[in-house]
Chain A
Amino acid sequence: AQTVTQSQPEMSVQEAETVTLSCTYDTSESDYYLFWYKQPPSRQMILVIRQEAYKQQNATENRFSVNFQKAAKSFSLKISDSQLGDAAMYFCAYERGTSYGKLTFGQGTILTVHP
Chain B
Amino acid sequence: GAVVSQHPSRVICKSGTSVKIECRSLDFQATTMFWYRQFPKQSLMLMATSNEGSKATYEQGVEKDKFLINHASLTLSTLTVTSAHPEDSSFYICSARDFRHGRYNSPLHFGNGTRLTVT
Task: Please report A residues at the B interface, Cβ cutoff 8 Å.
Answer: 42-45, 47, 52, 89, 91, 95, 100-108, 110
Contacts and interface: CB of A to CB of B under 8 A. Distances in A.
B41 A110 contact: yes
Given A101-B32, A106-B43, 10 more contacts: A43-B38, A43-B93, A44-B113, A45-B110, A89-B41, A101-B34, A101-B95, A101-B97, A102-B46, A103-B34
Interface residues of B, number: 24
B35 to A, nearest CB: 11
A95 B108 CA distance: 11
Interface string B23-46: 000000001101000100111111
Interface of B: 31-32, 34, 38, 41-46, 49, 91, 93, 95-97, 99, 104, 107-108, 110, 112-113, 115
B113 A43 contact: yes
B113 A105 contact: no
Contacts of A95: 108
Nearest to B60: A1
Contacts of B32: 100-101
Contacts of B91: 43
Nearest to B32: A100
A105 B59 CA distance: 14
A102 B49 contact: yes
Most central of A42, A101, A103 by chain B CB within 10 Å = A101
